[in-house]
Amino acid sequence: MTAPFYLSVAIPAPLNRSFDYLPESGCDMSQYQTGLRVNVPFGPRTLVGVIVDIRSQPQSEGHKLKPIQNRIDHKPLLSKDIYQLALWLNQYYHQPIGECLHTVLPVLLRKGQAATPSCEAVYRLASSLTTESLDALKRAPRQLALVEHLQQHGETWHKDLTAAGFTSAIINGLKDKGLITEHQKPSFDAINGQAIQTHLTLNDEQQSAVTAISNQHSFQPYLLDGVTGSGKTEVYLQSIAPHIKAGRQVLILVPEIGLTPQMIQRFAQRFDADILLLHSALNDRERLDAWIMAASHTKSDRAQIIIGTRSAVFTPAPNLAMVIIDEEHDASFKQQDGIRYHGRDVAVMRAKLLDIPIVLGSATPSLDSLQNALGNKYQHLLLRERAGNATDAKLHIFNMKKRAVNHGLADELLTEIQSTLDKQQQVLVFINRRGFAPTLYCPDCGWIAECKRCDAKMTLHQKPPHLHCHHCDNKSALPRQCPECLSNQIHPMGVGTERLESHLSAQFNHVPVIRIDRDSTSKKDSMEALLEPVHKGEPCILIGTQMLAKGHHFPKVTLVIMVNIDSGFFSADFRAMEKTAQLVLQVSGRAGREKDQGRAYLQTEFADHPLLHLLTEENYHALSLALLDERKQQHLPPYGFQALVRADSPNPKEAEQFLYRVRELFNWHQKNNQLSGISFLGPLPSPMELRAGRFRSQLWINSPNRKLLHHFIKLVINGVYEIKGFNKVRWSLDVDPTDNL
């Protein structure tokens, strides 16, 4: 008789532990491995779990254990590095191991489906095809046509034959005669790159970056710190070239794929390799197919270049040679629900596990990465000049005090717009608010349109007319009178994209005025259609939100006006200034990407702000050093370490009461374990306390070092799960939060 053994299974449940099961009857230990998916009974349900341990003793005695239901896979689906990454998520973010393992898997695999690609039929000519058999087709001209089609095109998909007019009857007729054969082939399509462009000649700074990166074969993070247009993408392309040539894989993380078509095109035109795009528009099936294509162990089926957004960091790649994160400072790399991981940090961890280099590129590096570079954890590679013959946009502070202002725009800047258009150039007006105006206001009684479910104002929209809460999506009809005093004087307060659009359309009615925001681009491909005049190069005015700040290449834009960025200077979020500076540079970087020198105007009421002057008179680096200095003095990240417990409930005060209990637990552990250094702040109401009908509260944990923070969370976290009596409260833990919302 063999010794008994027990399987510890991680299950996606809000409990930070694994559960023990017995093996199936008649199965021995050799049939199980960690990383294997299994179906297990859990209460009344069957859940998909992953074996995380095989042990000779159960974790706790005295429970009657059930056997697992069945094994889903025969060998572990997760590669070693991805499995280890999931364990790291568990350790670092202190989230249940079962949820971590689910997070790294595509949805269909979480649901227990097999990792087999979806296939469709393709047809080939049979090898037995002879001239005699063709002669026999003389009286079947459509069948003959199909044979000729295949002779000309080679292997062809069923759907393409149908599209070419061949019916199933024709196809089946030939199949029955044994003249063509049918095969099943994975139907998911990668982009087939073709090396039709040659490398550009690098400038000295680009060259030394490429030399450093491509000579590195073990773990080393690089911060590629280069102003917009300095040729970072060219550095990526040339650094990966030797790896692609050697048949290896690279993973490239980008903030938003929809906004990077030009970048993808450059990869596709540079390499004779398959490129996989992993973006939010893929459905679950396509995502799994892409996952399989990346994971393939056969070289011919495998995609070599994987480009994706945040969650693509978990894409398996058995022959990964390098990771690149473009726009590494971008907020979208941080997951804001479930396991709140930071894609950048996970990517660095993955590179470390695989012992390969990783490149973090940005024109405006995050202070965290900059600090790592200053501390020599990352190697700092600088590109100070714009590549080619483009010159930097000149950034001007435009003092709004005592100016004539209409619809949010200083009248004097209208002259600038006019002269830019006269030169046949284009203008970009940036405003961070969609809609017509941030709210509706009654001057007679002071009423303001507010959302009933949020501590927020309703945005006024004119296209079509309605009020809309951007926080909970609540919509209502536009009132004709003030609901409080019945005054007819209610009017819009503040400025949004629609209002600027109508103002500028009236001022410049001879050129296209194009508005780009979430409302104008909600339909697929509408952005590209709207941008057509811009790409054609004719004089026009672009008005838009953040959507315009990323990725786009607008060679003819030479004037950028930023309408309202002041809120960034006086926010309760200590990262606000960093984020605002990144945004300002990203937006102003849209100007003068080619030979025409660009100008950017920053409208502000706070023209004397010293940090703003640092940005315009010196540069982002000078500003970031000043900001780092502030952070250091205040023991804030990256010099201090934080975790944030958020809670919300439909009942007022309930989330706060829950957090008081959490805080008591924290205090108790801190005292018991003599953890000096750790401090707490809260419970505090969240900056928007009521949101979508829930009252929100937060509790901060601060620590002078990372190790202590993690040690503390590990001590307390299970206790938080065990707090009883708060059924309506939802809570979450955010390690290294990136905002205070």
Chain residues binding ligand ADP by CB under 6 A are 200-203, 206, 226, 228-234, 387-388
Cβ 332 vs Cβ 313: under 8 Å: no
**Residue 387 interaction partner, one of ligand ADP, Zn ion, none, beta carbon < 5-8 Å per kind:** ligand ADP
**Residue 471 interaction partner, one of ligand ADP, Zn ion, none, beta carbon < 5-8 Å per kind:** Zn ion
Minimum separation from the CB atom of position 557 to ligand ADP (A):
14
92: DSSP letter:
H
CB closer to ligand ADP, 210 vs 321 = 210
Q: Which of 77, 109, 363, 451 binds Zn ion (CB under 5 A)?
A: 451
Q: What share of the chain is helix, strand, coil (3-state, %, to 5)?
A: 35, 25, 40
CB closer to ligand ADP, 417 vs 548 = 548
CA distance 243 to 238: 10
Cβ 64 vs Cβ 115: under 8 Å: no
CB closer to ligand ADP, 438 vs 551 = 551
CB closer to ligand ADP, 71 vs 590 = 590
**Residue 305 interaction partner, one of Zn ion, ligand ADP, none, beta carbon < 5-8 Å per kind:** none
Minimum separation from the CB atom of position 564 to Zn ion (A):
21
Q: How many residues bind Zn ion (CB under 5 A)?
A: 15
Q: Which of 471, 550, 552, 661 binds Zn ion (CB under 5 A)?
A: 471
Q: Which residue has the tokens 């930071």?
A: 342
Q: Which of 292, 440, 454, 690 binds Zn ion (CB under 5 A)?
A: 454
**Residue 451 interaction partner, one of ligand ADP, Zn ion, none, beta carbon < 5-8 Å per kind:** Zn ion
CB closer to Zn ion, 23 vs 492 = 492
**Residue 230 interaction partner, one of Zn ion, ligand ADP, none, beta carbon < 5-8 Å per kind:** ligand ADP
Q: Does 474 bind Zn ion (CB under 5 A)?
A: yes
Q: Does 412 bind Zn ion (CB under 5 A)?
A: no
**Residue 544 interaction partner, one of Zn ion, ligand ADP, none, beta carbon < 5-8 Å per kind:** none
CB closer to ligand ADP, 96 vs 226 = 226
Which residue stretches of 404-512 are H helix?
411-422, 497-507
CA distance 299 to 301: 6
Q: What are phi and psi of 326, to 5 degrees?
A: -90, 145
CA distance 494 to 483: 20
Minimum separation from the CB atom of position 199 to ligand ADP (A):
9
Q: Which of 39, 214, 487, 571 binds Zn ion (CB under 5 A)?
A: 487
Nearest to 464 by CA among 449, 479, 483, 477: 477
Q: Does 493 bind Zn ion (CB under 5 A)?
A: no
Q: Does 447 bind Zn ion (CB under 5 A)?
A: yes
CB closer to Zn ion, 164 vs 485 = 485
Tell me how far the alpha carbon of residue 545 is from its chain's centroid. Answer: 18
- 516: tokens are 């780009």
3-state secondary structure of 468: strand
Based on its alpha-carbon atoms, the radius of gyration of the chain, rounded to whole angstroms, reads: 30
CB closer to ligand ADP, 475 vs 553 = 553
Q: What are phi and psi of 299, to 5 degrees?
A: -60, -40
3-state secondary structure of 705: coil
- 224: tokens are 């590629």
Q: Which of 160, 444, 532, 617 binds Zn ion (CB under 5 A)?
A: 444
Q: Does 669 bind Zn ion (CB under 5 A)?
A: no
Largest CA distance in the chain: 94
Q: Which residue has the tokens 């804001």?
A: 336
Alpha-carbon distance values, 659 to 512, 530, 702, 725 (Å): 53, 48, 16, 12
CA distance 564 to 200: 39
Residues in contact with Zn ion by CB under 5 A are: 442, 444-445, 447, 451, 453-454, 469, 471-472, 474, 482, 484-485, 487
